[in-house]
Amino acid sequence: MKKPKWIKSVRLLGAVLPVVEVKLIEDRANNHGRFIFASRTIEVKKDLMADGYLGALLHEAVHAGGDLIGIDFDESQTDRLSTMILSLIRDNPKLVKMIRKGNDDE
């Protein structure tokens, strides 16, 4: 598994959320990422491989989305939602293409 190409920001519901690479997550040693609510910034550990990076980024984006729509997802809900969204994206490339470009090619 290779190292991921770093994403500098994520757009979500009209907000641009910076994504910052950090050596470690301060509040918990085994965390791969965190969403900082006050600054609306996503932090992801820099030593992650592609799957861990994408999983952590999507997990924190779900936390961010919850904050933006006023829902405080707990960790279990965030884990399940991010896993579901990642599966939907990975398992349905045609759907992702239709969402990104419209349904004009049918």
Enumerate the domain spans of the chain.
9-101
- What CATH number is given for 9-101 in this structure? 3.30.2010
Average pLDDT rounded to a whole number, residues 77-93: 95
Distance CA 64, CA 90 (A): 21
Summarize the confidence of residues 24-40 as an average pLDDT.
82
Confidence (pTM): 0.85
Residues above pLDDT 90, as percent of the chain: 69
| CA-to-CA separations, 56 to 14, 23, 72, in angstroms, rounded | 21, 14, 18
In the block, which residue shows the tokens 């990076």?
53
Q: Provide mean pLDDT across the span 51-73.
A: 95
Task: Write the CB contacts of 46 (distance below 8 Å, at least 6 apart in sequence).
Answer: 21, 22, 23
